[in-house]
Structure 1
Amino acid sequence: MGWLRIILCVVLVLTMVSLAACSSSTNGLEQVRVAEVTRSIFYAPLYVAVTKGFFEEQGLEVEITTAWGGDKTMTTLISDGADIALVGSETSIYVYQQGTDDPIINFAQLTQTDGTFLVAREEHDSFSWDQLNDSVFLGQRVGGMPQMVGEYVLKQHGIDPQADLELIQNIDFSNIPNAFASGTGEYVQLFEPQATLFEKEGIGHIVASFGAESGQIPYTVFMSKQSYINDNADTIQRFTNAIYKAQQYVYATPTEEIAEAILPFFEDTDLDIVISVINRYAEQESYAPTPILQEESWLLLQEIIDQAGELEQIVEYDTLVETRFAEQAINQ
């Protein structure tokens, strides 16, 4: 968990900097800064909430920045560079394990499965997981949710990631696709739309879904510092209201309309690719239907973290999960 040392260093550097948690824009809307871990169709409901005006209906103007990695996203949140982070719940556990007077609270779940796919360099007429034995596997960052879920799934199929694979984990998150495209690895774990783009370009072939294999977990969740939630409970509520409306929209709307709604966030991606990716995620129910983070999912998350050797102690559900905003959004 070397990334935590990076966070602590950055926070120390920024202790002299005071940033406003939120402010009013010229159009009278309250500004909320969101740091997302990556830009992905996996997060479609967030972008729907922006383009369909659901945040604006709640009196909010949401500014989204992409941090490109869980460590960078959490650094941004802790150092007050963002009010809300969209990132894996494991990051809140890591911060809690290090000791903090201002824990990171998960208040609204966005996705409920892993969002990565196994991409093979060579096409397979039929795929079985044991074909990965003795292969070169380009994985994700140690301690990150993609890598931990990947290892969990491999173990479920009788593969020891450390002993049965040549596992590469020293490549920065944002550079993993380029590394695979340049010839590194026989298999790679990728998010969409990169996996589908590689398949379309003949660089690789999607052979399995880690999300379909791993079960339901709080994979990406909106979270904020406890202090921000205490001081801005109404803002958090209105933000959650908009997210829930977007979640309902995604489940009730034809894929083509969803794709058109989020296309402004993916200007370099063809509409047919966006449609294909949304369908892929919808089929495996990756989009959470409500913002409520369930306790059983929280426990499975920690089982996965524990198997990866990154969990120091079980963190109780009520310690880092707050469901009152999601419940009110649903029941209002």
Structure 2
Amino acid sequence: MSLLKRITGAVALAGVLLATPAMAQNKKVVLSQAFQSMLYLPLYVAINEGFFTAQGLDLTKETAGSPTVALSAVISGSAQFSIHGPEWTAIAASKGAPVGIIANVVNGAAVWIATAPDFKFTDVKSLKGQKVVVGTMPTTSTSLFLKLLKENGMDGKTDVEMIPVAIGSEPGPFLAKQADVAVMYEPGLDQVVAKGMKVVYGFPKSYGAYAFSSVTARNDVNPDLAQRVTNGMEMAMRFMKKDPAKTVTIAQKEFPTLDPAVIESAVKRMLADGVYPDSVDISAPSLKISMDTQIALGNLAAQPDYDKFVVKKYIEPALAMK
């Protein structure tokens, strides 16, 4: 073997040996999401753009099928992190579970009311006596709708006829004209808009900043891992604000069975309505208004202690990243 070949081989071997420890340093973590949901797009952006990898993580995303199952995975230790509504974490913490939230994921009340195109809507009281397609409880969309009715002097049991269906399946009965009104998440909302239905009420604009979904961890989580996850989510949110077109492309990749035009409309709507946050920070007012919904419905007895429940020691360094 020539000297040149031996040198080339030695350099290649050295490269492999040097690269292997770096790869080994990527720390394995498991994150359990409640559902594969367009609401969790910041997570998918972080994965697709390699932001967790850049933070030295080998992150495995698992789909639990419900918020309670995702949270249970964290409490039991089978996952270090979970994504779902912070109300589930608050309820568990109020019962003694050692959990808190470490990063924002959705910062708007991502629920809208749609009606048939010929339905005359002037205000919420226009819904009195109507059939309304809603997600089966417990779910935030129906919880917000019930709270809205109550605030307008109406009762969800007597003033409207709710047709509960599995979350995500609302477009079917609505488009089949089983009701002239539906309470919806995305992308179902833009699926029905594409069929001629109209949006008459948006909770994001009505409520403003609203802690809707967040990353949960145990209080004894490895702090290094928690910081890396929070940093990766922060990087994703900055990216989404900077490059909405690529953000749409990632959403289309994550939901290949949906009409790309519907996905584009849904992502643009949620960006415009402030559903996706600018950062991982969770403000005290946004948490309070979110928890107020659960208190009003009797799901939570009192507000969680913000300073203990929202773990700022991970959020603040993430916000300070250059």
Same fold, TM exceeding 0.5? yes
State the match for 1:241 in structure 2: 231
1:265 aligns with 2:249: no
In 2, Cα distance between equivalents of 1:272 and 1:179: 22
In angstroms, what is the RMSD of aligned CA positions? 2.6
State the match for 1:119 in structure 2: 114
| Structure 1 counterpart of 2:102, one-letter code | F
State the match for 2:264 in structure 1: 275
| Structure 2 counterpart of 1:56, one-letter code | T
Report the secondary structure of 1:32's partner residue: strand
1:306 aligned residue (278, 295, 313): 295
State the match for 2:31 in structure 1: 34
* 8 Å contact kept, 1:45–1:243: yes
Q: State the Cα deviation string for residues 226-280 of structure 1 (Å, max 9, x = none).
A: 2xxx341111101111111111111122x32221133221112233222211211
State the match for 2:210 in structure 1: 217
Q: State the Cα deviation string for residues 76-129 of structure 1 (Å, max 9, x = none).
A: 3334443211100100122123333xx221110111111122122454466532
* Inter-CA distance 118–232: structure 2 relative to 1 (3 Å threshold): same
Alignment of 1:246-257 (within 5 A): 246-253=236-243, 255-257=244-246
In 2, Cα distance between equivalents of 1:33 and 1:310: 28
In 1, Cα distance between equivalents of 2:22 and 2:248: 29
* Inter-CA distance 79–178: structure 2 relative to 1 (3 Å threshold): farther
In 1, Cα distance between equivalents of 2:296 and 2:234: 32
* 8 Å contact kept, 1:110–1:291: yes
State the match for 1:89 in structure 2: 86
Query: TM-score, structure 2 length as denominator?
Result: 0.83
In 2, Cα distance between equivalents of 1:80 and 1:182: 44
Q: What is the CA distance between 1:299 and its match in structure 2?
A: 1.7
1:132 aligns with 2:121: no
State the match for 1:285 in structure 2: 274
Report the secondary structure of 2:194's partner residue: helix
* Inter-CA distance 26–272: structure 2 relative to 1 (3 Å threshold): same
State the match for 1:9 in structure 2: none
Q: What is the CA distance between 1:183 and its match in structure 2?
A: 5.1
* Inter-CA distance 287–104: structure 2 relative to 1 (3 Å threshold): same
| Structure 1 counterpart of 2:86, one-letter code | S
State the match for 1:187 in structure 2: 181
Q: Structure 1 residues 141-150 or 300-309, which shifts more?
A: 141-150
Gap regions ≥5 residues in structure 2? 1-20
Report the secondary structure of 2:29's partner residue: strand
In 2, Cα distance between equivalents of 1:38 and 1:181: 24
* 8 Å contact kept, 1:124–1:207: no
| Structure 2 counterpart of 1:191, one-letter code | Y
State the match for 2:44 in structure 1: 47
In 2, Cα distance between equivalents of 1:89 and 1:68: 16
Gap regions ≥5 residues in structure 1? 1-23
* Inter-CA distance 191–25: structure 2 relative to 1 (3 Å threshold): farther
Q: What is the CA distance between 1:72 and its match in structure 2?
A: 3.1
State the match for 2:7 in structure 1: none
Query: TM-score, structure 1 length as denominator?
Result: 0.81
| Structure 1 counterpart of 2:58, one-letter code | E
State the match for 1:198 in structure 2: 192
Q: State the Cα deviation string for residues 35-57 of structure 1 (Å, max 9, x = none).
A: 22222332222111111111110
* Inter-CA distance 69–25: structure 2 relative to 1 (3 Å threshold): farther
State the match for 1:12 in structure 2: none
Q: What is the CA distance between 1:25 and its match in structure 2?
A: 12
* Inter-CA distance 26–268: structure 2 relative to 1 (3 Å threshold): farther
Alignment of 1:148-163 (within 5 A): 148-163=143-158
1:144 aligned residue (139, 147, 167): 139
In 1, Cα distance between equivalents of 2:106 and 2:205: 13
1:105 aligned residue (100, 109, 124): 100
Aligned length: 301
In 2, Cα distance between equivalents of 1:133 and 1:291: 39
Report the secondary structure of 2:215's partner residue: strand
* 8 Å contact kept, 1:143–1:308: no
* 8 Å contact kept, 1:111–1:287: yes
Whose radius of gyration is greater, 1 or 2? Answer: 2
Q: What is the CA distance between 1:325 and its match in structure 2?
A: 0.6
